[in-house]
Amino acid sequence: MNKLLVNALNELPIILADYLKPIVEDKNFSATISVAQFNELMTLTALSDSELRIALLPLAASYSYSPISNFCVGAIARGLSGILYFGANIELPGSPLAQAVHAEQSAISHAWMKGEKGIQDITINYSPCGHCRQFMNELSSADKMMVQLPNRQAKTLQEYLPESFGPKDLNITTLLMEDKPQKYAISDDDLLLTNAVAALNLSHAPYSENYCGIAVQLDDQSIYIGAYAENAAFNPSLPPLQVALIQILLAGKDFAQISAVVLVELEVGKISHKSTTQSVLDTLELGIQLNYLAI
């Protein structure tokens, strides 16, 4: 079990820790808090909605993988369903810093890969950088999404990103997390390959048309998918491999368990993730050769 998570749990107020301990220690804990659990915690602790989310931030930050900066950032995204999804920053030694994942991206993509179609609000232990404000501006719920920080009143994303540049400025109407999947299919019984195609169908790539997805298998045969999340400002785009790596860490697994990776993307795309995906896999020093298919 994640030792940082155990430490964070032990440092919470007793009433909060006692309730969360059996939930967090369950082997099937998925780094999420259900609506019922959250409401019960509010009743038990007499904390307000925002106070409770802030109190839970150390648990989210415990998932940080930050061997370069040793700076742990946690985020909690509340999906339209009301479920709370943890996220934390990820750094990959040996890869360019641009390959890192910010906590906000982590929590949002966590919610996205678990089926959410938008984010109500996000709670973060540090003020979001410009990169993350721009990333969040691509979301289907960007116009009404709230941002909560410790010791501050909640503000809308648009207050954090005034005079924003976004999809509409490039005449794009399809938004990230919106329920408009692609409909590509292949006739193949390979489970890893079909999962990668399923991830491709979730991907958001209206600028490059490089709809692509990835499936990562671990040595316990579990499979985690990642869909590409493109951005109007281009640079804040989130690669599919990183989205899958987020899911692996939040499931309490380790990169060393990765045994196979399949990337599927469209031949007509204006860019490709093939070389950068292999490069990042190489920095993980797993000896993994990327399986690749263009359709």
Active-site residues: which are they?
A: 104
Tell me the CB-side half-sphere exposure of residue 137, using CA atoms within 13 A. 25
> Cβ neighbours of residue 146 under 8 Å, at least 6 residues apart?
120, 121, 122, 154, 155, 156, 157
Radius of gyration over alpha carbons of the chain, in Å? 19
The CA distances from residue 86 to 16, 29, 82, 212, 217, in Å, are: 17, 11, 13, 24, 22
Q: Which residue has the tokens 């904390």?
A: 47
Which one-letter DSSP state was computed for residue 240? Answer: H
CA dihedral 45, 50, 52, 53 (to 10 degrees): 170
DSSP bridge partners of 128 = none
* Cβ burial, residue 291 (10 Å; 0-12/13-18/19+): middle
Q: What is the DSSP letter of 128?
A: P
∠74-132-215 over CA atoms, to 5°? 75
Q: Which residues fall within 8 angstroms of residue 76, CB to CB, at 6 or more apart?
A: 53, 56, 57, 60, 84, 85, 86, 87, 107, 122, 123, 124
